[in-house]
Chains A and B, each alone.
Chain A
Amino acid sequence: MAGNFLADKGKAILLGNEAIARGALESGIGFASTYPGTPSSEIGDTFAAVAKDAGIYFEYSVNEKVALEAAAGAGMSGVRSMVSFKQFGLNVASDSFFPAVYAGTKAGFVIVVADDPNCWSSGQSEQDGRYYSRMGHIPMLEPSNPQECKEFTKLAFSLSEKFKMPVLIRLTTRVSHTKGIVRFEKIVKGKTKGKFDKNAYRFRNFPPYLMDVHRKLHENLEKLKAISEKTELNLILNKGGKSDMGIITFGASFNYVMDSLDILNLKLPVLKLGMTYPLPEKKIKDFIKDLKTIFVVEELEALIEEKVRELAKDANPQIKINGKDLLPVVGELNVEKVLTALMKITGEKNKIDLKKHLNLFNKLKIPVRKPMLCPGCPHRATFYAAKVAAGHDTVFGGDVGCYILGVFPPLDTQDFVFSMGASEGIVHGIMKVTDQKAIAFLGDSTFFHAGLPGLVNIVYNKSNPLVILLDNRITAMTGHQPNPGMGKTGMGDETKPISIEDAAKGLGVRNVKVINPYNIREMIENIKEFLNKPEASVIVARAECRLLTIRKARKEGRKLPVFEIDPKKCKNCETCLIQLGCPAITRGKGVCRIEKDLCNGCSVCFQICPNQAIRVVK
């Protein structure tokens, strides 16, 4: 992050996510909460870095639902608040999201959700978060670049305060993770103390009063529509150009449209939507009424296109509407896809022959490189031990965290992957209807996030899986944020760490053991024992994320041990290479080899080598 992030003027190169946080600071925010999740994590991380200096409150909440509730509480008490999460975070938070819209807010309350078209960092679904705005009757803004991220955030706060309701900002990976120049304006010191008005009856969501609120929300939408018609966020570019074709687009897609038009040297009118719910229906009708063709460029589902089709029936029934007939509903868009579609519609030619280029490229034989657990990762040790200890019929319940990478061979220890905490719920169901044994793997942060109810259910409704809690003492996958097991808050203050083993015991699990997963033999023995218990068991596999160990060692000027393979003793059985899938172990000349620069000294290969050929480099 830029060093002068809290300056009152000037400019800096910021990520879209950082610009969202900056926009909140320029809007007088007093409270921010989040649960980290790519591609949204840097919003919270930015607050974490500056909250103390900026004089605001920030927390990594235990999960997104709690994060949203906390931010709603702050807003209801008159303190401007923001909550941010990834698309699945809004799924988790949705139970309180809708009542939060119904209850409304006293001070500005902005909810930021980041979708991930192309599932770059998302192992659950490729969902389109725009439906939440429709379901929740909540206004939604969608910026295209970092500068807009900041500006739209400010507008979201003012809209929220005007309508006394939360406002949704939707980002996508490409907006969140694009860096660009952002011009700073004055940071507004917001209130951090408010007062909850006990006589404000509107926060008491309850029937039949709820139906009145529902009616009011629809009335609000009409007022918001009027704003959508007038706002500069919904603007027409290339207005003057004479053309019988136009384009409607927004978000990241807008950038691909502008680049494509530039390549084809076309000046077609473009309606760029910034406020995408409610839509400016009149503006769209006016825009399409004299056109022969309209091209709707949007990622994922055909939401805007469907609306344009509906409006065209009235405004211009003859118009030809292109959209998802030429663009995919799956995956992220890019200039290549938009340009190809645009060439099909206009008949324009481009000096770059994309087809020829792709044919040439596809002829190259390029070995794939999959993401994988880091060298020395404690999860690799746990997975190896579990595979050795468990019978081949044992079900491995997967979950969400770095350990999701156990899905790939050779580890292959995630037989299903659903959502945060789901390993336990599903394993319970499987055990109720099969005779198979099962292990649920989930991380420390995931256990606090959504794993507690799953464990309660296992204990109370009596199934006997082994739950292995991969406790690496941090929320690693999303960039090393703290979690409730660590004793440190998002603002860096000390707090009481919550003991995972005590929590498991408190919930009635009788077989609970804390084991260092790097002790392979101990892990194997205990997994074997616990898998045969008639009731549920928990192993807390505790070893900090290897990246933390490396960082600490570097700071203290310590060197971690590095291992090597004695070529005289190595019989090239490839046990280390094939069974661990460690990036540091490679094939040498007739023997296996450890890349010293990559080895992080975990010793697991040393422990499992059947020929005692691995030793510490002296």
Chain B
Amino acid sequence: MLCLLPDMSEPGYTCGEMMKDFNLVVVGIGGQGVLTLANIVAEAAMKEGMDVKTSELHGLAQRGGPIPCHVRFGKKIYSSLVMAGQADLVISLEPLEALRAAYYGSKEKRTVFVFDTWKIIPSSILTQKETYPSIKEIKSSLKKFSSRAVALDASEFVKKNTESVVSTNVYLLGYCVGKKFIKLKKSSIVEGIKKVIPEKYFEMNKRIFELGVGRR
């Protein structure tokens, strides 16, 4: 029974010894497409012949709560969880959740944060009068945990320029691919989108992904 080690004889398994694991953390709130984004990346990584693991939470944790989803790919991946300070890239669909994900970033690892500026106010702020930090404050806090933190008006852009309101996730992913923040080929990601997104929405999502790639 071969269960522990990847089958090295399998075609496509060509990563060199030097290939370092890539750690991606995708965060947001239930319903924002966090899992979909992670699944697209996972499919793309498999397409490129890498081992891949993702970690997700379902059920109680999903209802309006924060959703952290981890994707790790490389030669051989054991744990599906990204360790503190070890993310290469954090994509957040919500500014406050980007701040919560600071846990996964570090200056040493040269983590890149990319987050959507569209806020979803948590009830604690409404009922207990806590304050929601400004985008500027979030960016400056994230500086201590990254080499770069990019705030992107992704939802605004997608709403204004496309017929979709739910494809911010692929737009952000496109942006990260365009900026080479993620070590996967564009063509592999498109394959991933094809595999994960229902057929009738594929063309639209691909288009929004391309808009993200082209975003300066």
Contact = CB atoms under 8 A, between A and B. Distances in A.
A367 interface: yes
B60 A120 contact: yes
Interface string A372-409: 11100000000000000000000000000010110011
A357 to B, nearest CB: 5
B85 A120 contact: no
Contact of A179 (B42, B57, B132): B42
Interface stretch (B123-131, B172-180, B207-215): B123-131
Interface in B115-167: 120-127, 130-133, 141, 144-145, 165
Given A364-B99, A369-B66, A586-B121, A477 B59 contact: yes
A39 B127 contact: no
Interface string B76-109: 0111110111100000000011011011001010
A267 to B, nearest CB: 15
A179 B63 contact: no
Interface string A138-156: 0000010101100110010
Given A155-B1, A371-B61, A145 B124 contact: no
A181 interface: yes
B52 interface: yes
B55 interface: yes
B197 to A, nearest CB: 12
A368 interface: yes
Contacts of B195: 3
A290 interface: no
Contact of B65 (A39, A272, A371): A371
B189 to A, nearest CB: 15
Given A145-B53, A361-B102, A478 B81 contact: no
B29 interface: yes
B184 interface: no
A367 B84 contact: no
B55 A335 contact: no
Most chain A beta-carbon neighbours within 10 Å: one of B51, B62, B64: B64
Interface string B54-74: 111111111111100000000
A409 B127 contact: yes
B154 to A, nearest CB: 14
Given A404-B60, A587-B126, A369 B54 contact: no
Interface string A309-333: 0000000000000000000000000
Contacts of A155: 1
Given A366-B99, A581-B123, A373 B63 contact: yes
Given A334-B83, A352-B85, A478 B59 contact: yes
Contacts of B131: 367
A352 B108 contact: yes
B64 A372 contact: yes
A354 interface: yes
B79 A256 contact: yes
A200 interface: no
A418 B100 CA distance: 31
Interface stretch (A126-134, A170-178, A601-609): A170-178
Nearest to A479: B58
Measured as residues with beta carbon below 8 angstroms from the partner, the interface class of chain A is 35 or more
A366 B100 contact: yes
Contacts of B64: 369-374, 583
Interface in A32-52: 38-39, 41-42
B7 interface: yes
B104 to A, nearest CB: 10
A597 interface: yes
A371 B63 contact: yes
A256 B60 CA distance: 25
A336 B84 CA distance: 7
A38 B60 contact: yes
Contacts, number: 194
Contacts of B120: 583, 598
Interface in A77-132: 120-123
A121 B61 contact: yes
Contact of B39 (A13, A352, A364, A368): A13
Contact of A597 (B59, B80, B100, B165): B165
B55 A578 contact: no
B124 A367 contact: yes
Contacts of A479: 58-59
A405 B65 CA distance: 11
Contact of B54 (A178, A232, A351, A581): A178
Contacts of B125: 367
Given A147-B3, A368-B122, A335 B79 contact: yes
Given A13-B46, A181-B52, A361-B103, A259 B79 contact: yes
Given A360-B144, A410-B127, A41 B59 contact: yes
Contact of A178 (B55, B63, B85): B55
A302 B64 CA distance: 35
Most chain A beta-carbon neighbours within 10 Å: one of B29, B42, B81, B102: B81
B141 A364 contact: yes
A153 to B, nearest CB: 11
Contacts of A357: 84-85, 106
Given A179-B42, A352-B86, A370 B122 contact: yes
Contacts of B102: 361, 364
B62 A177 contact: no
Contacts of A217: none
Given A180-B54, A367-B125, 18 more contacts: A39-B59, A120-B60, A179-B42, A179-B52, A180-B52, A181-B46, A235-B4, A361-B84, A366-B96, A367-B96, A370-B64, A370-B65, A371-B63, A372-B63, A374-B64, A577-B126, A581-B126, A586-B126
Interface of B: 1, 3-4, 6-7, 29-30, 39, 42-43, 46, 51-66, 77-81, 83-86, 96-97, 99-100, 102-103, 106, 108, 120-127, 130-133, 141, 144-145, 165, 195
25 contacts: A38-B59, A121-B57, A121-B61, A122-B60, A178-B53, A178-B54, A179-B52, A179-B80, A181-B46, A255-B79, A259-B79, A360-B144, A361-B102, A366-B96, A368-B122, A369-B65, A369-B100, A370-B124, A371-B62, A371-B65, A372-B123, A477-B63, A479-B59, A581-B127, A587-B121
Interface of A: 3, 11, 13, 38-39, 41-42, 120-123, 143, 145, 147-148, 151-152, 155, 173-174, 177-181, 183, 232-233, 235, 237, 252, 254-256, 258-259, 262-263, 272, 274, 334-336, 339, 351-352, 354, 357-358, 360-361, 364-374, 402, 404-405, 408-410, 477-479, 577-578, 581, 583, 585-587, 597-598
3 A-B pairs with least C-beta separation: A38-B59, A121-B59, A371-B65
